[in-house]
């Protein structure tokens, strides 16, 4: 085994050095530490030294999270939303359209929500038809999806808890929740948590949990992550989805593979035997509503 300069050879020290090096590089500064540690420990065990393990950890983090998000401009995005929410010209309908336009523009900065924009007007009306008004939502590995909360059939006093691994993204979503509560939804109780949902799935109960296009991504850093999370989530309704295309646009065989994986997970967790499952296929996304 070769060792890089600065590699003490002690795995605990190496892991601390790896975490510091990864966090020192701008893009991953705000990523939940438990994820960097888990990926880093596995790369240290596989690679020939600290330097290689740092490189491989960054590459894996890019694969599971970084690749989806455009260069973050959280300050500018929040300013754009604020301008749309604070503008008073026109009637209620004009205000609603202005806000939705601004929300759509920001959602276009994350690949997952960008792909959902063409189907957004149908996505929640169809998948959550007959459910609601919803009093509590748990949005797991949320990306920018909480910006779509106005498209869900929410109760006026709904609690919306969102989590993802980026601290700065969560701060931005906190700012958005505050804006939404100040301008039009005074009862909204929004909370954005920086959380590695594999290491620490949220313990609370929700009426609806969203696990949108996240399973393939979570399983890239831990092959059992999808199963563990499905077992841990406590919700009456769980909306799980899969992308119809890869980030590169490839789609051949993907849907069939994801559908097979979903049913395998339903069988392994025993959820399939105890719940009603409804399937929805959209142009860019395959979704399953699990109701129990």
Asked whether the beta carbons of 230 and 197 are under 8 A apart, the reply is no
CA–CA gap between residue 258 and residue 61 (Å, rounded): 22
By CB under 6 A, name the one of 22, 214, 266, 286 that touches ligand SAM: 214
Q: Encoding tokens for residue 25?
A: 């590089």
Asked whether the beta carbons of 221 and 208 are under 8 A apart, the reply is no
* Residue 197 is a binding residue for ligand SAM (CB under 6 A): yes
By CB under 6 A, name the one of 14, 17, 57, 113 that touches ligand SAM: 113
CA–CA gap between residue 140 and residue 195 (Å, rounded): 9
Contact region for ligand SAM (CB under 6 A) — 63-71, 94-102, 230-238, 249-257?
Answer: 63-71
Beta carbon nearer to ligand SAM, 11 or 246? 246
Contact region for ligand SAM (CB under 6 A) — 15-23, 80-88, 96-104, 207-215?
Answer: 207-215
* Residue 217 is a binding residue for ligand SAM (CB under 6 A): yes
CA–CA gap between residue 65 and residue 237 (Å, rounded): 25
Q: Is 194 in a helix, a strand, or coil? A: strand
Sequence-distant (≥ 6) Cβ neighbours of residue 158 within 8 angstroms: 133, 134, 135, 136, 137, 149, 187, 188, 189
Tally: H helices and E strands in the chain? 12, 7
Q: How far is the CB of 182 from ligand SAM (least distance, A)?
A: 24
* Residue 209 is a binding residue for ligand SAM (CB under 6 A): no
Beta carbon nearer to ligand SAM, 7 or 109? 109
* Residue 68 is a binding residue for ligand SAM (CB under 6 A): yes
Show the binding pattern over residues 236-265: x = contacts ligand SAM (CB under 6 A), - = does not. Answer: ------------------------------
By CB under 6 A, name the one of 22, 36, 137, 212 that touches ligand SAM: 212
Beta carbon nearer to ligand SAM, 7 or 146? 146
C-alpha distance from residue 288 to each of 92, 158, 211, 241, 246 (Å): 34, 23, 10, 6, 19
Residue nearest to ligand SAM (CB): 143
* Residue 146 is a binding residue for ligand SAM (CB under 6 A): no
Q: How far is the CB of 164 from ligand SAM (least distance, A)?
A: 5
* Residue 57 is a binding residue for ligand SAM (CB under 6 A): no
CA–CA gap between residue 265 and residue 221 (Å, rounded): 17
Asked whether the beta carbons of 292 and 271 are under 8 A apart, the reply is yes
User: Footprint of ligand SAM on this chain (CB under 6 A)?
Assistant: 35, 64-65, 68, 112-113, 141-143, 145, 164-165, 196-198, 212-214, 217-218
């Amino acid at each position: 085994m070769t060792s890089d300069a600065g590699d003490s050879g002690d795995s605990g020290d190496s892991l601390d050095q790896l975490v510091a090096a990864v966090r020192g590089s701008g893009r991953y500064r705000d990523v939940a530490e438990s994820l960097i540690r888990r990926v880093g420990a596995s790369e240290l065990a596989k690679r020939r030294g600290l330097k290689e393990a740092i490189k491989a950890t960054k590459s894996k983090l890019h694969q599971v999270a970084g690749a989806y998000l455009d260069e973050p401009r959280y300050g500018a995005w929040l300013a754009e939303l604020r301008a749309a929410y604070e503008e008073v010209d026109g009637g209620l309908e004009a205000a609603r359209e202005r806000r939705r336009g601004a929300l759509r523009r920001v959602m276009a900065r994350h690949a997952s929500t960008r792909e959902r924009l063409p189907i957004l007007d149908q996505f929640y009306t169809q998948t959550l038809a007959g459910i609601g008004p919803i009093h509590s939502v748990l949005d797991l590995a949320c990306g920018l999806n909480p910006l779509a909360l106005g498209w869900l059939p929410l109760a006026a006093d709904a609690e919306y808890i969102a989590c993802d691994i980026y601290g700065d993204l969560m701060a931005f979503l906190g700012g958005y929740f505050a804006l939404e509560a100040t301008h039009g939804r005074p009862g909204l109780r929004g909370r954005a948590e920086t959380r590695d949902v594999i290491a620490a799935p949220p313990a609370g109960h929700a009426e609806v949990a969203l696990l949108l296009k996240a399973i393939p991504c979570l399983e890239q850093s831990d092959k059992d992550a999808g199963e563990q999370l499905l077992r841990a989530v406590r919700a009456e309704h769980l909306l799980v989805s899969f992308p119809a295309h890869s980030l590169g646009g490839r789609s051949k065989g993907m849907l069939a593979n994801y559908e097979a994986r979903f049913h395998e997970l339903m069988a392994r967790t025993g959820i399939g035997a105890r719940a009603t499952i409804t399937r929805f296929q959209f142009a860019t996304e395959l979704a399953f509503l699990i109701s129990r």
